[in-house]
């Protein structure tokens, strides 16, 4: 079916969210109401749940893995000490995480990199996003944009990029992660959302890669995932400064619908011990 013939597609995209199917540059975006929350909206990209937005409360994150990322950020950057946090989001979706950062750190300066230009336009029309310079939407491929950035200009980089159910391989390598470290300022934090199968091969490789670049690493995920019992999300963090995990954060991770556990540097390195860091393919020889 051609995009122009999509069912339920509104004739135009008015300001504010309207449920329906919308053609975007990479396929189809479907916006639907949250049946359990009158202020909630769910965005699907090419049939895959991508984001949840609460229009009335940007601090509410319905996706568990986003709550885990938020917990890491709050612990590493206490609001009273963070000042003007500089955040780079690789992967935009509905900008749920960027809306949360703005609510938690009102003076933060954020850039969201989204490959799909039309999706970025729709998200701006649908949702109440902060305006530049507080939040800039930049259309482009995540690695190309990252490589163009100046050294030591970000405090946090969050990678949440998927093509289907996998992160594109060029965003998982030592070389890519080296660019992240270059762009982060001293003590900056890199956080990735790794989707994986029960084999955990992808998570081990990602952990090995991040551990090879940064002095400190951590993981947050739910116990069944870490025991290889299901497909799901593993949050991996890297930094050249220690990644704190105080009692309050650990209690917070145990709450919610999906309790999670935190692995410290030693546990992550043991988990990744037998995995090889991912590398860019070698150029073909003539």
Confidence (pLDDT) at 36: 95
Confidence (pLDDT) at 3: 38
Closest CA to 210 of 245, 244, 237, 171: 237
7 has a pLDDT exceeding 70: no
- Give 232-270 pLDDT, tens digit per residue: 999 999 999 999 999 999 999 998 889 999 999 999 999
Q: How many residues does the chain have?
A: 286
Q: Mean pLDDT in the chain?
A: 92
Do strands 184-196 and 232-239 pair parallel, antiparallel, or not at all (unpaired)? antiparallel
174 has a pLDDT exceeding 70: yes
118 has a pLDDT exceeding 50: yes
Confidence (pLDDT) at 286: 67
CA angle 169, 174, 175 (to 5 degrees): 85
User: What are the beta bridge partners of residue 218?
Assistant: 237
96 has a pLDDT exceeding 80: yes
Domains of the chain by start residue, with CATH: 7-54 (no CATH), 64-271 (3.40.50.150)
- Give 183-220 pLDDT, tens digit per residue: 999 999 999 999 999 999 999 999 999 999 999 999 99
Confidence (pLDDT) at 10: 41
Residues 98, 135 contacting (CB under 8 angstroms): yes
Confidence (pLDDT) at 285: 67
Instruction: For residue 257, give Cα distances in angstroms to 63, 102, 253.
Output: 10, 24, 10
Confidence (pLDDT) at 83: 84
Tell me the pLDDT band of 5, cut-offs 50, 70 and 90.
very low
- Give 10-52 pLDDT, tens digit per residue: 434 456 899 999 999 999 999 999 999 999 999 999 999 999 9
Tell me the pLDDT band of 165, cut-offs 50, 70 and 90.
confident
CA angle 145, 146, 150 (to 5 degrees): 105
């Amino acid at each position: 079916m051609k995009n122009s013939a999509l069912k339920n597609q509104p004739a135009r995209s008015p300001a504010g969210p309207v449920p329906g199917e919308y053609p975007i540059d990479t396929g189809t975006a479907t916006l639907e109401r949250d049946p359990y929350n009158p202020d909630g909206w769910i965005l699907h990209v090419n049939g895959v749940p991508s984001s949840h937005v609460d229009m009335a409360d940007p601090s509410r994150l319905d996706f568990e893995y986003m709550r885990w990322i938020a917990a890491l950020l709050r612990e590493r950057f206490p609001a009273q000490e963070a000042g003007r946090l500089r955040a780079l989001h690789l992967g935009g979706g509905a900008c749920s995480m960027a809306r949360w950062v703005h609510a938690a750190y009102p003076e933060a300066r954020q850039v969201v990199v989204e490959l799909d230009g039309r999706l970025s336009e729709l998200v701006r029309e649908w949702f109440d996003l902060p305006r530049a310079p507080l939040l800039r939407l930049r259309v482009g491929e995540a690695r190309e944009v990252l490589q163009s950035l100046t050294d030591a200009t970000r405090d946090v980089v969050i990678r949440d990029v998927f093509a289907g159910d996998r992160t594109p391989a060029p965003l998982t390598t030592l070389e890519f992660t080296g660019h992240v470290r270059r762009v982060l300022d001293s003590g900056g934090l890199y956080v990735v959302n790794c989707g994986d199968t029960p084999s955990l091969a992808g998570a081990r490789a990602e952990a090995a890669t991040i551990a090879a670049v940064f002095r400190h690493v951590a993981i947050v995920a739910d116990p069944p995932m870490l025991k290889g019992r299901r497909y799901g999300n593993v949050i991996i963090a890297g930094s050249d400064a220690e990644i704190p995990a105080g009692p309050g954060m650990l209690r917070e991770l145990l709450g919610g619908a999906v309790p999670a556990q935190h692995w410290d540097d030693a546990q992550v390195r043991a988990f990744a011990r037998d995995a090889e860091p991912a590398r860019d393919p070698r150029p073909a020889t003539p």
